[in-house]
Protein backbone atom coordinates (compact mmCIF):
# COMPACT_ATOMS: atom_id res chain seq x y z
CA UNK A 1 0.00 0.00 0.00
CA UNK A 2 1.33 3.43 -0.85
CA UNK A 3 2.51 5.73 1.88
CA UNK A 4 2.09 9.47 1.85
CA UNK A 5 3.69 12.14 3.97
CA UNK A 6 1.51 15.08 4.83
CA UNK A 7 3.93 17.92 5.49
CA UNK A 8 2.78 20.92 7.45
CA UNK A 9 4.62 23.91 6.06
CA UNK A 10 6.09 26.43 8.48
CA UNK A 11 4.80 29.97 9.00
CA UNK A 12 6.38 32.99 10.65
CA UNK A 13 4.46 31.95 13.77
CA UNK A 14 5.76 28.37 13.87
CA UNK A 15 9.26 29.60 13.16
CA UNK A 16 8.93 31.94 16.14
CA UNK A 17 7.98 28.92 18.27
CA UNK A 18 4.46 30.25 18.89
CA UNK A 19 1.18 28.38 18.70
CA UNK A 20 -2.02 29.66 17.10
CA UNK A 21 -4.35 31.32 19.58
CA UNK A 22 -7.17 28.85 18.97
CA UNK A 23 -8.07 26.57 21.89
CA UNK A 24 -9.95 24.20 19.57
CA UNK A 25 -6.95 23.52 17.31
CA UNK A 26 -5.14 20.92 19.41
CA UNK A 27 -8.31 18.92 20.20
CA UNK A 28 -9.35 19.02 16.54
CA UNK A 29 -5.92 17.96 15.37
CA UNK A 30 -5.86 15.14 17.94
CA UNK A 31 -9.36 14.01 17.02
CA UNK A 32 -8.43 13.90 13.35
CA UNK A 33 -5.27 11.90 14.00
CA UNK A 34 -7.22 9.62 16.30
CA UNK A 35 -9.72 9.03 13.52
CA UNK A 36 -6.93 8.15 11.12
CA UNK A 37 -5.45 5.77 13.70
CA UNK A 38 -8.84 4.12 14.15
CA UNK A 39 -9.17 3.70 10.42
CA UNK A 40 -5.81 1.92 10.42
CA UNK A 41 -4.29 4.61 8.23
CA UNK A 42 -1.95 6.55 10.53
CA UNK A 43 1.65 5.32 10.74
CA UNK A 44 3.52 8.15 12.37
CA UNK A 45 3.50 11.85 12.95
CA UNK A 46 5.17 14.63 14.91
CA UNK A 47 5.52 18.38 15.17
CA UNK A 48 8.95 19.86 14.56
CA UNK A 49 10.70 22.53 16.57
CA UNK A 50 11.53 25.77 14.72
CA UNK A 51 14.42 25.71 12.28
CA UNK A 52 16.37 27.89 14.73
CA UNK A 53 16.84 24.67 16.74
CA UNK A 54 18.18 22.73 13.76
CA UNK A 55 21.18 22.80 11.49
CA UNK A 56 22.07 21.93 7.93
CA UNK A 57 24.88 19.88 6.51
CA UNK A 58 25.65 21.40 3.14
CA UNK A 59 27.65 19.51 0.48
CA UNK A 60 29.26 21.40 -2.35
CA UNK A 61 29.85 19.84 -5.76
CA UNK A 62 33.30 18.66 -4.71
CA UNK A 63 31.81 16.86 -1.69
CA UNK A 64 33.07 19.42 0.82
CA UNK A 65 30.91 19.54 3.91
CA UNK A 66 29.78 22.75 5.57
CA UNK A 67 27.62 22.91 8.69
CA UNK A 68 25.11 25.75 8.96
CA UNK A 69 23.06 26.53 12.05
CA UNK A 70 19.40 27.51 11.77
CA UNK A 71 17.22 29.50 11.51
CA UNK A 72 16.73 29.38 7.78
CA UNK A 73 15.14 32.15 5.79
CA UNK A 74 12.80 30.46 3.30
CA UNK A 75 10.00 29.99 5.88
CA UNK A 76 7.36 28.64 3.48
CA UNK A 77 9.67 25.87 2.31
CA UNK A 78 10.38 24.69 5.83
CA UNK A 79 8.48 21.90 7.53
CA UNK A 80 6.73 22.41 10.86
CA UNK A 81 5.37 18.90 11.23
CA UNK A 82 4.48 15.74 9.39
CA UNK A 83 1.90 12.96 9.37
CA UNK A 84 2.73 9.68 7.70
CA UNK A 85 -0.21 7.65 6.38
CA UNK A 86 -0.61 4.37 4.54
CA UNK A 87 -3.57 4.23 2.19
CA UNK A 88 -4.84 2.20 -0.74
CA UNK A 89 -4.61 4.90 -3.35
CA UNK A 90 -3.75 8.49 -4.16
CA UNK A 91 -7.47 9.13 -4.14
CA UNK A 92 -7.75 7.98 -0.55
CA UNK A 93 -4.73 10.10 0.42
CA UNK A 94 -6.47 13.08 -1.11
CA UNK A 95 -9.73 12.33 0.70
CA UNK A 96 -7.90 12.24 4.05
CA UNK A 97 -5.71 15.26 3.33
CA UNK A 98 -8.76 17.31 2.42
CA UNK A 99 -10.04 16.79 5.95
CA UNK A 100 -6.77 17.75 7.62
CA UNK A 101 -7.53 20.70 9.92
CA UNK A 102 -5.92 23.99 8.87
CA UNK A 103 -2.72 23.92 10.96
CA UNK A 104 -2.60 27.68 11.51
CA UNK A 105 -6.21 28.89 11.62
CA UNK A 106 -6.72 32.53 10.77
CA UNK A 107 -3.67 32.79 8.58
CA UNK A 108 -2.62 31.60 5.18
CA UNK A 109 -0.90 28.25 5.53
CA UNK A 110 -0.24 25.07 3.59
CA UNK A 111 0.14 21.33 3.85
CA UNK A 112 1.94 19.44 1.13
CA UNK A 113 1.29 15.76 0.46
CA UNK A 114 4.01 13.62 -1.09
CA UNK A 115 4.06 9.91 -1.90
CA UNK A 116 6.97 7.95 -0.49
CA UNK A 117 9.15 5.87 -2.76
CA UNK A 118 9.16 2.15 -2.13
CA UNK A 119 8.63 -1.30 -3.52
CA UNK A 120 5.01 -1.53 -2.48
CA UNK A 121 4.07 1.81 -3.99
CA UNK A 122 2.65 0.42 -7.21
CA UNK A 123 -0.58 1.40 -8.90
CA UNK A 124 -3.00 -1.49 -8.35
CA UNK A 125 -3.27 -2.38 -12.02
CA UNK A 126 0.46 -2.64 -12.31
CA UNK A 127 0.75 -4.79 -9.21
CA UNK A 128 -1.91 -7.09 -10.53
CA UNK A 129 -0.23 -7.31 -13.93
CA UNK A 130 3.09 -8.25 -12.32
CA UNK A 131 1.46 -10.92 -10.21
CA UNK A 132 -0.33 -12.38 -13.21
CA UNK A 133 2.88 -12.46 -15.22
CA UNK A 134 4.64 -14.22 -12.39
CA UNK A 135 1.84 -16.73 -12.11
CA UNK A 136 1.99 -17.38 -15.84
CA UNK A 137 5.74 -17.94 -15.66
CA UNK A 138 5.34 -20.33 -12.78
CA UNK A 139 2.62 -22.26 -14.55
CA UNK A 140 4.83 -22.65 -17.61
CA UNK A 141 7.75 -23.75 -15.43
CA UNK A 142 5.65 -26.28 -13.52
CA UNK B 1 -8.64 19.01 -7.67
CA UNK B 2 -10.94 17.03 -5.38
CA UNK B 3 -10.86 13.40 -4.33
CA UNK B 4 -13.41 11.20 -6.07
CA UNK B 5 -16.84 11.07 -4.50
CA UNK B 6 -16.29 7.38 -4.03
CA UNK B 7 -13.13 7.97 -1.97
CA UNK B 8 -15.01 10.31 0.35
CA UNK B 9 -17.89 7.86 0.60
CA UNK B 10 -15.48 5.05 1.49
CA UNK B 11 -14.09 6.94 4.44
CA UNK B 12 -17.66 7.20 5.74
CA UNK B 13 -19.11 3.86 4.65
CA UNK B 14 -18.29 1.96 7.83
CA UNK B 15 -19.77 4.70 9.99
CA UNK B 16 -22.90 4.88 7.84
CA UNK B 17 -23.44 1.12 7.94
CA UNK B 18 -22.99 1.12 11.70
CA UNK B 19 -25.54 3.90 12.22
CA UNK B 20 -28.16 2.17 10.07
CA UNK B 21 -27.65 -1.17 11.78
CA UNK B 22 -28.04 0.58 15.10
CA UNK B 23 -31.29 2.09 13.85
CA UNK B 24 -32.66 -1.39 13.34
CA UNK B 25 -31.83 -2.22 9.74
CA UNK B 26 -30.52 -5.67 8.98
CA UNK B 27 -27.19 -6.10 7.19
CA UNK B 28 -28.55 -6.39 3.68
CA UNK B 29 -30.85 -3.38 4.06
CA UNK B 30 -28.14 -1.24 5.69
CA UNK B 31 -25.67 -1.99 2.93
CA UNK B 32 -28.22 -1.20 0.23
CA UNK B 33 -29.03 2.15 1.80
CA UNK B 34 -25.35 3.05 2.21
CA UNK B 35 -24.83 2.18 -1.44
CA UNK B 36 -27.84 4.32 -2.34
CA UNK B 37 -26.27 7.26 -0.54
CA UNK B 38 -23.25 6.95 -2.83
CA UNK B 39 -25.49 6.86 -5.88
CA UNK B 40 -27.32 9.97 -4.65
CA UNK B 41 -24.00 11.77 -4.12
CA UNK B 42 -22.78 10.77 -7.56
CA UNK B 43 -25.96 12.18 -9.07
CA UNK B 44 -26.13 15.41 -7.13
CA UNK B 45 -22.67 16.61 -6.11
CA UNK B 46 -21.31 17.17 -9.62
CA UNK B 47 -24.38 19.26 -10.51
CA UNK B 48 -25.09 21.03 -7.21
CA UNK B 49 -21.55 21.38 -5.92
CA UNK B 50 -19.93 19.50 -3.04
CA UNK B 51 -21.64 19.84 0.33
CA UNK B 52 -19.71 21.60 3.06
CA UNK B 53 -19.77 18.49 5.24
CA UNK B 54 -19.78 15.50 2.89
CA UNK B 55 -19.89 12.98 5.76
CA UNK B 56 -23.02 14.51 7.27
CA UNK B 57 -24.64 14.76 3.84
CA UNK B 58 -24.04 11.05 3.19
CA UNK B 59 -25.36 10.14 6.63
CA UNK B 60 -28.58 12.09 6.04
CA UNK B 61 -28.98 10.57 2.59
CA UNK B 62 -28.48 7.03 3.91
CA UNK B 63 -30.95 7.59 6.76
CA UNK B 64 -33.59 9.04 4.46
CA UNK B 65 -33.21 6.06 2.23
CA UNK B 66 -33.62 3.72 5.19
CA UNK B 67 -36.75 5.57 6.35
CA UNK B 68 -38.28 5.29 2.88
CA UNK B 69 -37.59 1.59 2.75
CA UNK B 70 -38.83 0.89 6.26
CA UNK B 71 -42.01 2.92 5.70
CA UNK B 72 -42.55 0.98 2.54
CA UNK B 73 -42.14 -2.31 4.37
CA UNK B 74 -44.47 -1.15 7.14
CA UNK B 75 -47.11 -0.20 4.64
CA UNK B 76 -46.86 -3.56 2.98
CA UNK B 77 -47.19 -5.22 6.37
CA UNK B 78 -50.15 -3.01 7.25
CA UNK B 79 -51.97 -3.89 4.06
CA UNK B 80 -51.54 -7.57 4.72
CA UNK B 81 -52.61 -7.31 8.32
CA UNK B 82 -55.57 -5.06 7.60
CA UNK B 83 -57.31 -7.92 5.87
CA UNK B 84 -57.99 -9.82 9.05
CA UNK B 85 -56.74 -8.10 12.22
CA UNK B 86 -58.31 -5.42 14.34
CA UNK B 87 -56.52 -2.19 15.13
CA UNK B 88 -55.08 -3.32 18.48
CA UNK B 89 -53.51 -6.42 17.07
CA UNK B 90 -52.17 -4.29 14.27
CA UNK B 91 -50.48 -1.86 16.65
CA UNK B 92 -48.69 -4.63 18.52
CA UNK B 93 -47.31 -6.10 15.34
CA UNK B 94 -45.93 -2.91 13.92
CA UNK B 95 -42.32 -2.00 14.31
CA UNK B 96 -41.65 1.35 16.02
CA UNK B 97 -41.56 4.32 13.71
CA UNK B 98 -38.12 4.31 12.09
CA UNK B 99 -38.07 8.10 12.17
CA UNK B 100 -38.13 8.04 15.97
CA UNK B 101 -35.29 5.57 16.06
CA UNK B 102 -33.19 7.55 13.65
CA UNK B 103 -33.65 10.80 15.50
CA UNK B 104 -32.96 9.14 18.83
CA UNK B 105 -29.69 7.64 17.74
CA UNK B 106 -26.58 9.47 18.77
CA UNK B 107 -23.28 9.85 17.06
CA UNK B 108 -20.96 6.93 17.61
CA UNK B 109 -18.17 8.63 19.52
CA UNK B 110 -16.35 5.64 20.93
CA UNK B 111 -16.17 3.48 17.84
CA UNK B 112 -18.54 0.83 19.16
CA UNK B 113 -20.21 0.53 15.78
CA UNK B 114 -16.92 -0.34 14.13
CA UNK B 115 -16.34 -3.01 16.77
CA UNK B 116 -19.83 -4.42 16.37
CA UNK B 117 -19.24 -4.64 12.63
CA UNK B 118 -16.01 -6.51 13.26
CA UNK B 119 -17.73 -8.93 15.64
CA UNK B 120 -20.62 -9.60 13.32
CA UNK B 121 -18.39 -10.08 10.25
CA UNK B 122 -16.25 -12.59 12.17
CA UNK B 123 -19.25 -14.38 13.64
CA UNK B 124 -18.31 -17.94 14.61
CA UNK B 125 -21.30 -19.40 12.77
CA UNK B 126 -19.81 -18.29 9.44
CA UNK B 127 -17.29 -20.37 7.50
CA UNK B 128 -13.77 -18.96 7.31
CA UNK B 129 -14.05 -17.70 3.74
CA UNK B 130 -17.37 -16.06 4.55
CA UNK B 131 -15.75 -14.30 7.52
CA UNK B 132 -12.96 -12.97 5.29
CA UNK B 133 -15.29 -11.80 2.60
CA UNK B 134 -17.66 -10.11 5.02
CA UNK B 135 -14.81 -8.48 6.96
CA UNK B 136 -13.30 -7.12 3.77
CA UNK B 137 -16.70 -5.88 2.64
CA UNK B 138 -18.13 -4.45 5.86
CA UNK B 139 -15.07 -3.46 7.86
CA UNK B 140 -12.39 -2.77 5.27
CA UNK B 141 -14.99 -1.35 2.88
CA UNK B 142 -13.66 -3.05 -0.25
CA UNK B 143 -15.91 -3.43 -3.26
CA UNK B 144 -16.93 -6.86 -4.51
CA UNK B 145 -14.54 -6.43 -7.44
CA UNK B 146 -11.64 -5.60 -5.12
CA UNK B 147 -12.37 -8.56 -2.86
CA UNK B 148 -12.52 -10.82 -5.90
CA UNK B 149 -9.11 -9.52 -6.99
CA UNK B 150 -7.61 -9.95 -3.54
CA UNK B 151 -8.86 -13.52 -3.23
CA UNK B 152 -8.41 -14.38 -6.91
CA UNK B 153 -12.01 -15.43 -7.15
CA UNK B 154 -14.80 -14.53 -9.53
CA UNK B 155 -16.90 -11.50 -8.68
CA UNK B 156 -20.08 -13.54 -8.91
CA UNK B 157 -18.67 -16.03 -6.39
CA UNK B 158 -17.84 -13.26 -3.94
CA UNK B 159 -21.21 -11.57 -4.37
CA UNK B 160 -22.92 -14.87 -3.73
CA UNK B 161 -20.81 -15.53 -0.67
CA UNK B 162 -21.68 -12.12 0.76
CA UNK B 163 -25.38 -12.65 0.16
CA UNK B 164 -25.27 -16.08 1.75
CA UNK B 165 -23.30 -14.80 4.76
CA UNK B 166 -25.79 -11.99 5.29
CA UNK B 167 -28.66 -14.46 5.14
CA UNK B 168 -26.93 -16.62 7.73
CA UNK B 169 -26.60 -13.61 9.99
CA UNK B 170 -30.24 -12.55 9.68
CA UNK B 171 -31.63 -12.08 13.17
CA UNK B 172 -28.20 -11.75 14.79
CA UNK B 173 -28.32 -8.66 16.98
CA UNK B 174 -26.08 -5.72 16.08
CA UNK B 175 -24.47 -5.34 19.47
CA UNK B 176 -21.28 -5.98 21.37
CA UNK B 177 -21.17 -9.57 22.57
CA UNK B 178 -22.19 -10.03 26.21
CA UNK B 179 -19.35 -10.07 28.73
CA UNK B 180 -19.54 -13.85 29.07
CA UNK B 181 -18.92 -14.40 25.35
CA UNK B 182 -16.65 -11.44 24.72
CA UNK B 183 -13.28 -13.15 25.16
CA UNK B 184 -14.22 -16.01 22.83
CA UNK B 185 -15.66 -13.69 20.23
CA UNK B 186 -12.63 -11.41 20.34
CA UNK B 187 -10.39 -14.42 19.93
CA UNK B 188 -12.42 -15.33 16.84
CA UNK B 189 -11.88 -11.84 15.42
CA UNK B 190 -8.12 -12.06 16.05
CA UNK B 191 -8.00 -15.49 14.44
CA UNK B 192 -9.86 -14.30 11.34
CA UNK B 193 -7.43 -11.41 10.90
CA UNK B 194 -4.38 -13.54 11.57
CA UNK B 195 -5.38 -16.27 9.15
CA UNK B 196 -6.14 -13.64 6.54
CA UNK B 197 -2.74 -12.08 7.08
CA UNK B 198 -0.96 -15.43 6.95
CA UNK B 199 -2.72 -16.42 3.77
CA UNK B 200 -1.41 -13.26 2.15
CA UNK B 201 1.98 -13.49 3.81
CA UNK B 202 2.73 -17.12 3.10
CA UNK B 203 1.56 -16.59 -0.43
CA UNK B 204 3.94 -13.68 -0.89
CA UNK B 205 6.79 -16.08 -1.45
CA UNK B 206 6.70 -19.09 -3.68
CA UNK B 207 4.43 -20.05 -6.49
CA UNK B 208 1.42 -18.45 -4.93
CA UNK B 209 2.45 -14.88 -4.64
CA UNK B 210 -1.14 -14.06 -5.28
CA UNK B 211 -2.54 -12.30 -2.28
CA UNK B 212 -0.42 -9.35 -1.17
CA UNK B 213 -3.57 -7.25 -0.91
CA UNK B 214 -4.96 -9.69 1.61
CA UNK B 215 -1.86 -9.30 3.76
CA UNK B 216 -1.95 -5.52 3.74
CA UNK B 217 -5.71 -5.32 4.31
CA UNK B 218 -5.38 -7.65 7.30
CA UNK B 219 -2.63 -5.42 8.70
CA UNK B 220 -4.79 -2.35 8.22
CA UNK B 221 -7.68 -4.09 9.97
CA UNK B 222 -5.42 -5.07 12.85
CA UNK B 223 -4.33 -1.44 13.21
CA UNK B 224 -7.99 -0.50 13.19
CA UNK B 225 -8.85 -3.08 15.86
CA UNK B 226 -5.84 -2.17 18.02
CA UNK B 227 -6.89 1.49 17.97
CA UNK B 228 -10.44 0.53 18.97
CA UNK B 229 -9.29 -1.76 21.78
CA UNK B 230 -6.08 -0.24 23.13
CA UNK B 231 -6.24 -2.20 26.39
CA UNK B 232 -6.64 -5.72 24.98
CA UNK B 233 -3.27 -7.45 25.30
CA UNK B 234 -3.99 -10.03 22.62
CA UNK B 235 -5.07 -7.42 20.11
CA UNK B 236 -1.83 -5.50 20.67
CA UNK B 237 0.03 -8.82 20.33
CA UNK B 238 -1.74 -9.51 17.05
CA UNK B 239 -0.78 -6.08 15.76
CA UNK B 240 2.84 -6.46 16.93
CA UNK B 241 3.10 -9.84 15.23
CA UNK B 242 1.71 -8.55 11.95
CA UNK B 243 3.79 -5.35 11.91
CA UNK B 244 6.96 -7.34 12.62
CA UNK B 245 6.23 -9.94 9.99
CA UNK B 246 5.20 -7.34 7.44
CA UNK B 247 8.46 -5.48 8.09
CA UNK B 248 10.26 -8.37 6.40
CA UNK B 249 8.17 -8.28 3.22
CA UNK B 250 10.70 -6.18 1.23
CA UNK B 251 13.48 -8.67 2.01
CA UNK B 252 11.49 -11.87 1.59
CA UNK B 253 12.08 -12.10 -2.13
CA UNK B 254 15.22 -11.35 -4.13
CA UNK B 255 15.42 -9.23 -7.29
CA UNK B 256 14.03 -12.12 -9.33
CA UNK B 257 11.10 -12.70 -7.01
CA UNK B 258 12.57 -15.85 -5.49
CA UNK B 259 11.93 -16.44 -1.77
CA UNK B 260 14.72 -15.63 0.68
CA UNK B 261 14.71 -17.44 4.03
CA UNK B 262 14.68 -15.40 7.23
CA UNK B 263 18.30 -16.08 8.20
CA UNK B 264 19.53 -15.18 4.72
CA UNK B 265 17.57 -11.95 4.33
CA UNK B 266 19.33 -8.64 3.87
CA UNK B 267 18.06 -7.04 7.05
CA UNK B 268 18.84 -3.55 5.80
CA UNK B 269 15.88 -4.05 3.47
CA UNK B 270 13.46 -4.63 6.32
CA UNK B 271 10.91 -1.89 6.82
CA UNK B 272 12.28 -0.28 9.96
CA UNK B 273 9.24 1.89 10.53
CA UNK B 274 7.15 -1.28 10.80
CA UNK B 275 9.77 -2.88 13.07
CA UNK B 276 9.48 0.10 15.37
CA UNK B 277 5.67 0.03 15.26
CA UNK B 278 5.73 -3.70 15.99
CA UNK B 279 8.04 -3.31 18.97
CA UNK B 280 5.88 -0.46 20.30
CA UNK B 281 2.74 -2.60 20.05
CA UNK B 282 4.61 -5.42 21.79
CA UNK B 283 5.64 -3.07 24.59
CA UNK B 284 1.97 -2.13 25.09
CA UNK B 285 1.06 -5.83 25.04
CA UNK B 286 3.67 -6.60 27.68
CA UNK B 287 2.52 -3.94 30.09
CA UNK B 288 -1.08 -5.13 29.68
CA UNK B 289 -0.05 -8.75 30.20
CA UNK B 290 1.84 -7.77 33.35
CA UNK B 291 -1.59 -7.09 34.86
CA UNK B 292 -3.06 -10.36 33.65
CA UNK B 293 -2.83 -13.36 35.96
CA UNK B 294 -2.55 -15.94 33.19
CA UNK B 295 0.39 -14.17 31.52
CA UNK B 296 1.10 -13.93 27.82
CA UNK B 297 -1.06 -15.91 25.41
CA UNK B 298 0.11 -17.63 22.25
CA UNK B 299 -0.21 -14.51 20.08
CA UNK B 300 1.98 -12.57 22.53
CA UNK B 301 4.56 -15.36 22.50
CA UNK B 302 4.60 -15.41 18.72
CA UNK B 303 5.07 -11.64 18.68
CA UNK B 304 7.95 -12.03 21.15
CA UNK B 305 9.51 -14.59 18.82
CA UNK B 306 9.23 -12.23 15.87
CA UNK B 307 10.72 -9.45 18.00
CA UNK B 308 13.81 -11.51 18.83
CA UNK B 309 14.55 -11.70 15.11
CA UNK B 310 13.65 -8.04 14.60
CA UNK B 311 16.18 -6.96 17.25
CA UNK B 312 19.09 -8.77 15.59
CA UNK B 313 20.55 -6.59 12.87
CA UNK B 314 22.49 -9.61 11.56
CA UNK B 315 21.37 -13.23 11.56
CA UNK B 316 24.50 -14.13 13.58
CA UNK B 317 23.32 -11.88 16.41
CA UNK B 318 20.09 -13.85 16.88
CA UNK B 319 19.46 -14.69 20.53
CA UNK B 320 18.71 -18.40 20.04
CA UNK B 321 18.52 -19.13 23.75
CA UNK B 322 15.78 -16.56 24.13
CA UNK B 323 14.00 -18.09 21.14
CA UNK B 324 14.30 -21.52 22.73
CA UNK B 325 12.75 -20.24 25.98
CA UNK B 326 9.88 -18.66 24.04
CA UNK B 327 9.26 -21.83 22.01
CA UNK B 328 9.18 -23.80 25.27
CA UNK B 329 6.42 -21.52 26.52
CA UNK B 330 4.58 -21.63 23.20
CA UNK B 331 4.80 -25.41 23.01
CA UNK B 332 3.27 -25.67 26.46
CA UNK B 333 0.25 -23.67 25.24
CA UNK B 334 0.08 -24.98 21.72
CA UNK B 335 1.52 -28.49 21.56
CA UNK B 336 1.87 -29.13 17.83
CA UNK B 337 4.60 -30.91 15.84
CA UNK B 338 5.24 -27.76 13.78
CA UNK B 339 5.88 -25.66 16.90
CA UNK B 340 8.08 -28.50 18.19
CA UNK B 341 10.00 -28.44 14.91
CA UNK B 342 10.62 -24.70 15.21
CA UNK B 343 11.71 -25.21 18.79
CA UNK B 344 14.18 -27.85 17.63
CA UNK B 345 15.60 -25.42 15.06
CA UNK B 346 16.21 -22.88 17.85
CA UNK B 347 17.74 -25.61 20.00
CA UNK B 348 19.99 -26.61 17.11
CA UNK B 349 21.48 -23.12 17.11
CA UNK B 350 21.35 -22.46 20.85
CA UNK B 351 22.84 -25.79 21.94
CA UNK B 352 23.89 -27.83 18.97
CA UNK B 353 22.75 -29.90 15.97
CA UNK B 354 23.57 -33.19 17.71
CA UNK B 355 21.02 -32.44 20.44
CA UNK B 356 18.42 -31.17 17.99
CA UNK B 357 18.53 -34.01 15.46
CA UNK B 358 16.92 -36.76 17.55
CA UNK B 359 14.13 -34.35 18.56
CA UNK B 360 13.46 -33.54 14.93
CA UNK B 361 13.53 -37.17 13.85
CA UNK B 362 10.99 -38.13 16.49
CA UNK B 363 8.37 -35.73 15.11
CA UNK B 364 5.45 -37.18 13.16
CA UNK B 365 5.91 -34.87 10.17
CA UNK B 366 6.40 -37.25 7.24
CA UNK B 367 5.42 -35.47 4.04
CA UNK B 368 6.15 -31.99 5.42
CA UNK B 369 8.97 -30.58 3.26
CA UNK B 370 10.20 -28.11 5.89
CA UNK B 371 10.75 -31.00 8.31
CA UNK B 372 12.97 -32.83 5.83
CA UNK B 373 14.79 -29.61 5.07
CA UNK B 374 15.53 -28.98 8.77
CA UNK B 375 16.82 -32.54 9.06
CA UNK B 376 19.05 -31.95 6.04
CA UNK B 377 20.45 -28.81 7.61
CA UNK B 378 21.22 -30.53 10.92
CA UNK B 379 22.79 -33.56 9.20
CA UNK B 380 24.94 -31.29 7.08
CA UNK B 381 26.17 -29.40 10.11
CA UNK B 382 27.07 -32.77 11.68
CA UNK B 383 29.14 -33.66 8.61
CA UNK B 384 26.76 -36.41 7.50
CA UNK B 385 26.53 -34.99 3.99
CA UNK B 386 25.22 -38.04 2.16
CA UNK B 387 22.27 -38.39 4.56
CA UNK B 388 21.72 -34.65 4.33
CA UNK B 389 21.43 -34.91 0.53
CA UNK B 390 18.97 -37.75 0.91
CA UNK B 391 16.83 -35.66 3.27
CA UNK B 392 16.89 -32.74 0.85
CA UNK B 393 15.78 -34.98 -2.00
CA UNK B 394 12.90 -36.04 0.23
CA UNK B 395 11.98 -32.41 0.85
CA UNK B 396 12.07 -31.74 -2.89
CA UNK B 397 9.79 -34.68 -3.54
CA UNK B 398 7.32 -33.50 -0.90
CA UNK B 399 6.99 -29.86 -1.88
CA UNK B 400 4.32 -28.87 -4.34
CA UNK B 401 5.45 -25.27 -4.37
CA UNK B 402 7.51 -24.55 -7.44
CA UNK B 403 9.64 -21.80 -5.95
CA UNK B 404 10.35 -23.81 -2.84
CA UNK B 405 11.48 -26.65 -5.08
CA UNK B 406 13.91 -24.38 -6.91
CA UNK B 407 15.31 -23.12 -3.62
CA UNK B 408 15.81 -26.67 -2.33
CA UNK B 409 17.40 -27.81 -5.60
CA UNK B 410 19.90 -24.95 -5.35
CA UNK B 411 20.76 -26.01 -1.82
CA UNK B 412 21.26 -29.56 -2.98
CA UNK B 413 23.67 -28.40 -5.67
CA UNK B 414 25.66 -26.27 -3.24
CA UNK B 415 25.95 -29.10 -0.72
Q: Quote the ipTM score.
A: 0.80
> Which residues in chain A are closer than 8 Å to B7, comparing Cβ atoms?
89, 91-92, 94-95
Phi/psi of residue A137, nearest 5 degrees: -60, -45
Cβ of A91 under 8 Å from any chain B Cβ?
A: yes
3-state secondary structure of B104: helix
CB atoms within 10 A of CB B293: 5
For residue A142, what is the nearest residue in chain B, using CA coordinates? B402
Residues 6+ apart with CB under 8 A from B153: B147
Read off the pTM.
0.83
Task: Quick: pLDDT tens for B142-175.
Answer: 889 888 887 878 999 999 999 999 999 988 888 8
The rounded distance, in Å, linking the Cα atoms of B80 and B97 is: 18
Omega into A71 within 30° of 0, i.e. cis?
yes
CB of B69 within 8 Å of a chain A CB? The answer is no
At residue A11, the pLDDT reads: 95
Task: Count how many Cα atoms sit within 13 Å of the Cα of residue B87 in the half-sphere of its side chain.
Answer: 0
Q: How many domains does chain A have?
A: 1
B258 touches chain A (CB under 8 A): no
Contacts of B328 (CB under 8 A, 6+ apart): B343
Residue A119 CA: distances (Å) to CA of A122, B212, B271: 7, 12, 11
Which of B 283-342 lie inside 8 A of A, CB atoms? none
Question: Mutual orientation of helices B27-48 and B155-169 as an angle, nearest 10°?
Answer: 120
Q: Which residues contact B390 (CB under 8 A, 6 or more apart)?
A: none
Give the other-Cβ count within 10 Å of A34's Cβ: 13
Give the DSSP per-residue string, A50-98: -GGG-EEEEE-TT--EEEEES--S-GGGSEEEEEEEE-S-HHHHHHHHT
Residue B194 has a pLDDT of 92
Chain B's closest residue to A137, CA to CA, is B207
Q: Which residues of A touch B219 (CB under 8 A)?
A: 40
Angle at B119 between CA B118 and CA B120, to 5 degrees: 95
d(CA A8, CA A80): 5
Cβ-in-10-Å burial (0-12, 13-18, 19+) of A119 comes to exposed
* A117 or A82, greater pLDDT: A82
- Residue A31 pLDDT > 80, yes or no? yes
Distance CA A78, CA A12 (A): 10
The CATH number for A126's domain is 3.30.70.1060
Question: Residue B7 and residue A94: Cβ atoms within 8 Å?
Answer: yes
- Print the domain residue range for A80: 3-58+65-141
Chain B residues with CB under 8 Å of A101 CB are none
Residues of chain A positioned with their CB less than 8 A from the CB of B1: 94
Instruction: Assess contact for B3 and A91: CB atoms under 8 A.
Output: yes
C-alpha closest to that of B17 among B138, B130, B101, B106: B138
The minimum CA-CA distance between A106 and chain B, rounded to whole Å, is 19
pLDDT digits (tens, 9 = 90+) for B28-86: 899 999 999 999 999 999 999 999 999 999 999 999 999 999 888 888 877 766 655 55
> In this predicted model, what pLDDT tens digit does every residue of B44-57 receive, in sequence order?
999 999 999 999 99
Give the number of other Cβ atoms within 10 Å of residue B330's Cβ. 23
Amino acid sequence: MPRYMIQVRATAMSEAGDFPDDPTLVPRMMAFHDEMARAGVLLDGAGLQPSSQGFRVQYDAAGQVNIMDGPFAETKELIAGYTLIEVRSRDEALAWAQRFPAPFPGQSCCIEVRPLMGGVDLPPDDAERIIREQLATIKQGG
Amino acid sequence: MTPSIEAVWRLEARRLTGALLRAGADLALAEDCVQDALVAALQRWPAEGWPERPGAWLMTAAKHRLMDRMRHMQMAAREQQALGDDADALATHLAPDPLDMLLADEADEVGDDALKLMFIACHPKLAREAQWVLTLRLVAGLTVAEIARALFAKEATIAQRITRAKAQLAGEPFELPPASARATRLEAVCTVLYLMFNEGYAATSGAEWTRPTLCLEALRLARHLAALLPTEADVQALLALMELQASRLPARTDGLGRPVLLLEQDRRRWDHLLVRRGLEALARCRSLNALRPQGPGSLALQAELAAVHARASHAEETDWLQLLRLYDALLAQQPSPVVALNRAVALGYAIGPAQALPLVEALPLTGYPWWASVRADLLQRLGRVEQAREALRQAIAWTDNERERVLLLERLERM
